[in-house]
Amino acid sequence: MPVPAAAQQRADALRERLHHHAHRYYVLDAPEIPDAEYDKLFQELQALESAYPELLTPDSPTQRVGGHVLDGFAKVRHRVSMLSIRTETDIEPSGARSFDARVRRELELGEGAPPVRYVAELKFDGLAINLRYEQGLLVQAATRGDGEVGEDVTQNLRTVGQVPLRLIGDVPAVVEVRGEVYMRRDDFDRLNELQREKIAQGQKNEKTFVNPRNAAAGAVRQLDPAIARQRPLSFYAYGWGEMTPPEEGGPVFTSHHEVLKTFGDWGLPVSDRIRLCEGAEDLVAFHQDIGRTRDGLPFDIDGVVYKVDSLALQRQLGFVTREPRWAVAHKFPAQEQMTTVEAIDVFVGRTGKLTPVARLAPVFVGGVTVSNATLHNEDEVLRKDVRVGDQVIVRRAGDVIPEVVAVVPGSRRADAVSFVMPRRCPVCDSEAVREADEADWRCSGGLFCDAQRKQALLHFAQRRALDIEGLGEKLVEQLVDEGWVRTLPDLYRLDLDRLSGLDRMGEKSARNLLDGLEQSKATSLPRFLFGLGIRHVGEATARDLARHFGKLDGILEANVDQLLQVPDVGPVVAESLHRFFAQPHNREVIDALRVCGVHWPEGEPAQSAPQILAGKTVVLTGTLPTLGRDEAKEMLEAAGAKVAGSVSKKTSVVVAGTEAGSKLDKARELGILIIDEAGLRDLLAGVLSV
Ligand code: IVH
């Protein structure tokens, strides 16, 4: 059946628009139309193509899906070999200086010669891929393999949204784009979440992935493209292979950064964290910058790459064996390492929470030596099935507490036994309890438990609570072990004689501690409340409580319903507060602290502000000259008004600032009183009434 001209035109137009929107969405991360609109265009094209199969082109956006299960991957001989890159052995910033010095020596640049220009890039932790475009169309995607021969993974790479099926604009007849396929951390977490669900449902062949790199590698080499499609991959271009030369009509490039910029114009994703550097010191600064911010990136990197920018200088420098002399990888300390689990201990926290901790053979990871790693809770240990004697992968990223990621398969000793959570507290031997739908076991000993006592004292003394200068971990340890401090008020009963007798404590530091204790007595209600270490009561909640009740006694006497009146306090927090204050020994601690001289200024309950706007509904619109929206809302609510989002007949008054839009028109239409910020202040002061 001949294809009607109208169908042909419509299909062309749809493909054009879909390519445009896919580029906006996947590469620029700036969509212009909602997803549903994209889907509609997509489905229309799909329908046309199935009615007239002659319309189907290999670069059609509909061809990202589909494909068939392969028996294996075909081999691809690279037309230009895919080189590897030398790794600088010196991981300190000075590593960049050695590279620059080598480059200058090779180029015979004397001391007086100007600095060499480099491009500094991220070293993405994924898989190198070669994308071959002919006449602008993606015709083949191949892995690096041994650098000479890789595998044809075209089907799978077609499913990657960030890989253009067709390049935009004036492109050479042939261009091979090289770059990294990788998996973002959020995509990785979601994928593993899904995998865990599948395993929980009893799907035997499913597994979780150790890290984004492995997950990406698995997806690229997945023989079933339908499965590959469910593994979200991303792509960054950083280099090229074969390209039509200028004498055959190809583009003329003189620098690396120019090529990358052009790649961007052609619709390829290029990282925006590339920096042009002049000389070694710029490279050092880049390495330091990225080292500091690496944990905030949405994907893993294992270092940075420096490349000589000028293509003429690159040619002059040439290669040694399989590595170019014009580029180097400069790594960061690895964030993952392998080590052995020597024991699994259970740590008791301030609230009695029992945390299993892996004691490890010390290992250097993420820039520090790690010998403990958290295992979070019972379920986590069992899920990862970590056992004493296992080889494990430990991860430490940034300031995050080191954790055990997974057991190295096949490393288990025959006699290794599963972890069993103790049923008694390892410190005080009280019973351990795990409430239904809670992940944690807790020691039921409360402040009878020395471990909890120590943590509670440290919590009370910390800077954000009572801020007791000089009271650190070692000292608390001794004070509790000597039996001198059992409860918080005992701290204020310490004297110079006793203190100066302690280990590593002279008279001077004893005096300093006593001064610190004395100064801590003048505090604030939020600090005091937070310092008590009530479960679920953080600094923000403490502040809300203080603001709402004004006085401690108000909080002590409040029932659960009254506690629920506090903004942001829900049933769990209210319950926890009520339970805490109902315990006689907690009341005793509070009384004793007051007797010792701990004090704070008390205020009026926020609630007792006159509710002059009770029953009134106010709508805010536009920008007020001095008051923020939240601020205005808070003031109105404190006076008893309800603040609504839209204008209706029930609206009592509309407060309008600049650029007020349709709400203002609506208010005019309904004849509702409209006031400005000055009017609002009059309203709150009771000068104006509505
Ligand atoms: S350039 C001739 N740039 O690191 C230089 N490689 O061997 C070729 N990699 O597996 C590589 N980020 O996949 C280059 N910005 C980057 C890179 C990068 C990651 C990977 C590449 C290869 C290894 C280097």
Nearest Cα neighbor of 125 from 39, 185, 57 is: 185
Q: Is the pLDDT of residue 638 over 90?
A: no
Does residue 299 have its Cβ closer than 6 Å to ligand 1?
A: no
Atom of ligand 1 nearest to the CA of 83: 2
Would you say how long the chain is, in residues? 690
**Whether 528 and 628 share a structural domain:** no
Q: What is the pLDDT of residues 213-267, one digit of tens each?
A: 889 998 998 888 888 888 899 999 999 999 999 999 999 999 999 999 999 999 9
| Residue 96 CB burial class (10 angstroms; 0-12, 13-18, ≥19) | buried
User: Strand pairing of 275-278 and 301-308?
Assistant: unpaired
Q: Is the pLDDT of residue 163 over 90?
A: yes
Which pLDDT score is estimated for 608? Answer: 55
Which pLDDT score is estimated for 612? Answer: 84
Last residue of a domain, one of 414, 442, 470: 442
Distance 101 CA to ligand 1 centre (A): 21
In degrees rounded to 5, what are phi and psi of residue 621? -145, 145
Least confident piece of the model among 57-71, 191-205, 622-636 = 57-71
**Whether 152 and 296 share a structural domain:** yes
**Whether 425 and 464 share a structural domain:** no
Token code pair at residue 500? 């100066």
Contacts of residue 189, Cβ cutoff 8 Å, sequence gap at least 6: none
Which pLDDT score is estimated for 160? Answer: 93
CA distance 513 to 471: 7
Does residue 83 have its Cβ closer than 6 Å to ligand 1?
A: yes
**Whether 146 and 293 share a structural domain:** yes
| Residue 410 zone, left/alpha/beta (φ > 0; ψ -120 to 50; rest) | left
CA distance 513 to 613: 51
Is residue 69 one of the residues assigned to a domain? no
Is residue 81 one of the residues assigned to a domain? no
Q: What is the pLDDT of residues 111-146, one digit of tens each?
A: 899 999 999 999 999 999 999 999 999 999 999 988
Q: What is the pLDDT of residues 364-407, one digit of tens each?
A: 887 789 999 999 999 999 989 999 999 998 988 766 789 998 88
In degrees rounded to 5, what are phi and psi of residue 203? -75, 110
Q: Read off the CATH number of the domain in which 673 is found.
A: 3.40.50.10190
Substitution candidate for ligand 1 out of 82, 85, 300 with most atoms within 8 A of CB: 85
Q: With pLDDT > 70 as the criterion, what percentage of the chain qualifies?
A: 98
Does residue 324 have its Cβ closer than 6 Å to ligand 1?
A: yes
Token code pair at residue 54? 């002659």
Q: What is the pLDDT of residues 63-89, one digit of tens each?
A: 876 567 677 889 999 999 998 898 887
Q: Is the pLDDT of residue 607 over 60?
A: no
Distance 128 CA to ligand 1 centre (A): 7
Which pLDDT score is estimated for 67? Answer: 61
Whether the CB-CB separation of 558 and 575 falls below 8 Å is answered with no
Last residue of a domain, one of 331, 350, 372: 331
Which pLDDT score is estimated for 223? Answer: 84
In degrees rounded to 5, what are phi and psi of residue 601? -70, 135
CA distance 85 to 62: 37
Substitution candidate for ligand 1 out of 84, 180, 270, 301 with most atoms within 8 A of CB: 180
Please name the residue whose Cα sits nearest to atom 3 of ligand 1: 238
* Helices 94-106 and 279-293, axial angle in degrees (round to 10): 150
The average pLDDT across 604-618 equals 78
Atom of ligand 1 nearest to the CA of 85: 7
**Whether 315 and 464 share a structural domain:** no
Does residue 235 have its Cβ closer than 6 Å to ligand 1?
A: no
**Whether 143 and 281 share a structural domain:** yes
Confidence of residue 103 (pLDDT cuts 50, 70, 90): very high
Atom of ligand 1 nearest to the CA of 128: 13
Substitution candidate for ligand 1 out of 123, 290, 299 with most atoms within 8 A of CB: 123
Q: Read off the CATH number of the domain in which 23 is found.
A: 1.10.287.610
Whether the CB-CB separation of 273 and 122 falls below 8 Å is answered with yes
Q: Read off the CATH number of the domain in which 211 is found.
A: 3.30.470.30
Q: What is the pLDDT of residues 499-515, one digit of tens each?
A: 988 888 888 999 999 99
Distance 85 CA to ligand 1 centre (A): 6
CA distance 224 to 222: 6
Does residue 238 have its Cβ closer than 6 Å to ligand 1?
A: yes
**Whether 645 and 588 share a structural domain:** no
Is residue 611 one of the residues assigned to a domain? no
Please name the residue whose Cα sits nearest to atom 18 of ligand 1: 123
Is residue 72 one of the residues assigned to a domain? no
The average pLDDT across 614-618 equals 89
Q: What is the pLDDT of residues 407-454, one digit of tens each?
A: 887 888 889 999 999 999 999 999 999 988 888 999 988 778 999 999
Distance 237 CA to ligand 1 centre (A): 10
Across the chain, what does the average pLDDT equal?
A: 90
Last residue of a domain, one of 290, 311, 331: 331
Does residue 303 have its Cβ closer than 6 Å to ligand 1?
A: no
Does residue 84 have its Cβ closer than 6 Å to ligand 1?
A: yes
CA distance 120 to 496: 59
**Whether 251 and 349 share a structural domain:** no
Does residue 182 have its Cβ closer than 6 Å to ligand 1?
A: no
Which pLDDT score is estimated for 504? Answer: 82
Does residue 328 have its Cβ closer than 6 Å to ligand 1?
A: no
Is residue 254 one of the residues assigned to a domain? yes
**Whether 396 and 364 share a structural domain:** yes
The residue whose two tokens read 């292979």 is 241
**Domain of residue 364, residue span:** 335-442
Which pLDDT score is estimated for 458? Answer: 95
Confidence of residue 358 (pLDDT cuts 50, 70, 90): very high
Q: Detail the DSSP E strand segments found in 22-126.
A: 75-77, 117-124
**Whether 413 and 528 share a structural domain:** no
Q: Read off the CATH number of the domain in which 360 is found.
A: 2.40.50.140
Q: What is the pLDDT of residues 557-581, one digit of tens each?
A: 999 999 998 877 899 999 999 999 9
Does residue 128 have its Cβ closer than 6 Å to ligand 1?
A: yes
Name the residues annotated as catalytic: 123
Q: What is the pLDDT of residues 313-332, one digit of tens each?
A: 999 999 887 789 999 999 88
Distance 256 CA to ligand 1 centre (A): 14
Is residue 176 one of the residues assigned to a domain? yes
Determine the 3-state secondary structure of 140 from DSSP: strand
**Whether 577 and 656 share a structural domain:** no
Which pLDDT score is estimated for 604? Answer: 82
The average pLDDT across 260-277 equals 97
CA distance 73 to 336: 31
Contacts of residue 404, Cβ cutoff 8 Å, sequence gap at least 6: 341, 358, 373, 374, 375, 384, 386, 392, 393, 394, 395
Substitution candidate for ligand 1 out of 183, 305, 317, 328 with most atoms within 8 A of CB: 305
Contacts of residue 225, Cβ cutoff 8 Å, sequence gap at least 6: 66, 67, 68, 69, 155, 156, 158, 159
Token code pair at residue 578? 């009520």
Which pLDDT score is estimated for 633? Answer: 86
Is residue 14 one of the residues assigned to a domain? yes
Please name the residue whose Cα sits nearest to atom 5 of ligand 1: 85
Domains in the chain, number: 5
CA distance 226 to 171: 31
Please name the residue whose Cα sits nearest to atom 9 of ligand 1: 123
Q: What is the pLDDT of residues 285-302, one digit of tens each?
A: 999 999 888 888 999 998
**Whether 438 and 458 share a structural domain:** no
Which pLDDT score is estimated for 12? Answer: 93
Contacts of residue 644, Cβ cutoff 8 Å, sequence gap at least 6: 617, 618, 619, 650, 651
Token code pair at residue 313? 């200088």
Is residue 324 one of the residues assigned to a domain? yes
CA distance 435 to 571: 17
Atom of ligand 1 nearest to the CA of 122: 15
Distances in Å between the alpha carbon of 231 and those of 1, 182, 184, 212, 414? 39, 11, 11, 11, 35
